Amino acid sequence: MSPRRNRPHGGAKPVDRLGGDRYGLERTEEWRGEDWVVRLVGGGGAGKHYRCPGCDQEIPPGVPHVVAWPQHGDVDDRRHWHKACWNARDRRSARLQRSRNAPRY
């Protein structure tokens, strides 16, 4: 008896017709009465340290995350969020306190 094969045997890849959680694709979501452009960034595309505005924690390089900005905003308005923090943005308080020794980037 030969061992089980857990690898796919080629063929067509599944097609995501709704543009679900595919990295690099942009979608528009409404938040706080304004339209936001949301892009998922894969681990390979994340090369810098970012500060998540949802939890005020660092997003290290190589970690998949979400980039969001107002649809009619500037490049400086982009914010990098953990995916869970972006999904919970309405349940989080707007008043986060950063510790004294936390970097401000």
pLDDT of residue 75: 81
Q: Residue 18 has what pLDDT?
A: 47
pLDDT at 103 exceeding the cut of 90: no
Distance CA 51, CA 45 (A): 16
Mean pLDDT (the chain) is 78
The pLDDT tens digits of the residues spanning 43-73 come to 887 788 999 988 889 999 989 999 999 988 8
Residue 38 scores a pLDDT above 90:
yes
Give residue 81's pLDDT: 93
Q: In this predicted model, which residue has the larger pLDDT, 14 or 77? A: 77
Residues with Cβ < 8 Å from 26, sequence gap 6 or more?
A: 37, 38, 39
**Which phi and psi (to 5°) does residue 51 adopt?**
-110, 120
